[in-house]
Amino acid sequence: EAGVAQSPRYKIIEKRQSVAFWCNPISGHATLYWYQQILGQGPKLLIQFQNNGVVDDSQLPKDRFSAERLKGVDSTLKIQPAKLEDSAVYLCASSLGLANEQFFGPGTRLTVL
């Protein structure tokens, strides 16, 4: 079974630039999550989709972050414009449904200069 795919694996940008991350979940998984993990901290949930609907985005900084999950399969997370404090690893995860175990992708390490 293929795991959760994410791209790119690494990205370096300057502040005020925009960046987009892509995630392809495990086939058949209805729930998709985006997390931000700052070095030394636990993952922080940014947004959670159930199929193509948003279940929770209460911690998504909506003035600069956006996410979509078209057709209920893969998803993109965008930051525009980026700030220095956005430097982190962005993790995508998927699960069969709400409250099932999550399977995580390898993450995208973002550095904002």
Footprint of another protein (CB under 8 A) = 33, 35, 41-45, 48, 55-56, 58-59, 91, 93, 98-99, 101-107
Please report how close the Cβ of residue 85 comes to another protein at its closest, in angstroms: 17
State the CB neighbour count (10 A cutoff) for residue 56. 13
Query: Between 98 and 113, whose beta carbon lies closer to another protein?
Result: 98
Q: Quote the strand ranges of 31-113, DSSP E.
A: 31-37, 44-50, 53-56, 65-68, 75-79, 88-95, 103-104, 108-112
CA distance 89 to 15: 16
Query: Between 88 and 93, whose beta carbon lies closer to another protein?
Result: 93
Please report how close the Cβ of residue 84 comes to another protein at its closest, in angstroms: 22
Q: Using the 8-state DSSP alphabet, how is residue 71 labeled? A: G
Query: Between 14 and 56, whose beta carbon lies closer to another protein?
Result: 56
Please report how close the Cβ of residue 108 comes to another protein at its closest, in angstroms: 12
